[in-house]
Structure 1
Amino acid sequence: MLNPNGVYSICGNGMEDAYHAVITCTKERALRQAMREVWELPDDQEFSFLGSDWLLHLLSRFDSPMKVRILLLLWRSWHLRNDVIHEKGMASIASSVAFLQAYHTKSNPQPATADTKGKRPMIFSTSPPSRVTVPRESWTAPPVGWVKLNTDGSMPPNCITGGARVVARDARGVVIFSACAPLHNCLDAEEAEARAALWGLKLMSNYAPARLILELDSVNSVTALQARNQDKSRNWAIYQEAKNLLDNVVEGIIRHSKREMNSVVDALAKLAFSLVERIMLDNLPPPVRELVFLDANTCNTNL
């Protein structure tokens, strides 16, 4: 909340109001200057204060694409202000530039310009053709009324301690909880995957969802969890306990997903290896929080 009668606490210059928070503050000036390296933006004189309707005056002078860039910039500026006041102040200018670029590109894909007259120059090359870049797949939200639990376990080479990461989200992409932990005395990657799934289901049982989708990127673990008969692997007891937990929900689905479809779980990997067990609600690290926001924005546009 702003204090309109006080000095702005972040930079110590000027009164604390919305205009100062997103325009005048030193950090916001630095963000605008950095964004001009990658975006076309108005000069600073265009951001002059023209009374309480300064934002309407500003936007009225530009076309729609520029309006979008300005609003995104101000939105991110407010995030930087909140990060300093309410979080740990870890959000950097560089990470903000990367986030805005990625968000703007994802929200406004640019179609390729067609060469309808065939007048582009022909280029001949003896080098082999480059590999076609396939658009990266992203996380998909569960149906309304369902919860999706993504789990992942991994084992570094020549190590007996693995890492588990889990994230539970609803149909809007909102994080219910996320967690990470080291897995001690772990023998291989499959055991890490199985233990991560079991741990995630144990945490999920505290929220008692009626309909749950469990998603893993290990084909072996998905097959074992879906099997009706007893699994003959040494991880059978782990899988059986996980199945018992799944039996407690009204409807439960087990799916395989590609690793690249869950960047949030991957972003928790370093925490899993470097920390003791850690359960997070809305206090996600800034890089992970930004990925969650991008996923949520995608799924909300599809609702």
Structure 2
Amino acid sequence: MATTWKAPPHGWFKANWDIGVDSKRGQVGLGAVIHDQHGKMWVSKSQTQQGFLDPSAAEAMAALMAVQLCMEMGIQQVQLEGDAKNVIVAVNSKEPDKSGRGQLTEDIRSTLQVIPVWEMRNAHREENKVAHALSWFGYL
């Protein structure tokens, strides 16, 4: 059975993020997209980072980009989805993140404090196609 993107509950938004790594060029692309409960896209963002190849830290950077977009839009309820379980577990944990992405995890947690209701969970690549495509946008 195919997995597809599902709209968030009534009154919520959904923010998806993902990355694309181009090891030949030494680049990583970050992508984030926010949809409303009807599946309408409200905002998207992509950017490229040069000389940055740690996928876990890149996933955390993309998650932070998505959270910052939510904060800038004044979103009050959001489901955050990405396919980096280690980032999601770290953000949801109460423990300090002792990995190489620790400061990024703290930045995500700090930014999430301004969003009253949020949940961060894992999404399969099939549920994250738009964010994944955005992550490669900078390479075109």
Same fold at TM > 0.5: yes
Structure number having the greater strand percentage: 2
Which AA in structure 2 matches 1:217?
D
Contact 1:181 1:273 in 2 (8 A): no
| Corresponding position of 2:32 | 166
Which AA in structure 1 matches 2:60?
A
Query: Within 1, Cα distance between the matches of 2:119 and 2:26?
Result: 31
TM-superposed deviation, 1:240: 0.5
**Is 1:192 matched with 2:58?**
yes
Quick one: which of 11, 14, 22 aligns to 1:145? 11
Contact 2:78 2:119 in 1 (8 A): yes
TM-superposed deviation, 1:260: 1.1
1:252 match: secondary structure:
strand
Which AA in structure 1 matches 2:17?
T
Which AA in structure 2 matches 1:205?
M
Divergent runs of 4+, >4 A: none
Matches within 5 A, 1:236-247: 236-247=102-113
Which AA in structure 2 matches 1:200?
A
Contact 2:46 2:138 in 1 (8 A): yes
Matches within 5 A, 1:254-273: 254-273=120-139
Instruction: Please provide the CA RMSD for this pair.
Output: 1.4
CA distance 1:269–1:199, shift in 2 (3 Å)? closer
Quick one: which of 73, 77, 92 aligns to 1:207? 73
TM-score (norm 1): 0.44
TM-superposed deviation, 1:262: 2.0
- Number of residue pairs aligned between Structure 1 and Structure 2: 140
Matches within 5 A, 1:13-28: none
Structure number having the greater helix percentage: 1
TM-score (norm 2): 0.92
Query: Within 1, Cα distance between the matches of 2:135 and 2:18?
Result: 9
Which AA in structure 2 matches 1:192?
A
TM-superposed deviation, 1:158: 4.3
| Corresponding position of 1:223 | 89
1:228 match: secondary structure:
coil
Query: Within 2, Cα distance between the matches of 1:228 and 1:184?
Result: 32
- Unpaired runs of at least 5, structure 2: none
Which AA in structure 2 matches 1:197?
A
Query: Within 1, Cα distance between the matches of 2:55 and 2:120?
Result: 19
CA distance 1:214–1:257, shift in 2 (3 Å)? same
Contact 2:47 2:135 in 1 (8 A): no
TM-superposed deviation, 1:220: 0.9
- Unpaired runs of at least 5, structure 1: 1-134, 275-303
Which AA in structure 1 matches 2:47?
A
Identity rate, percent = 28
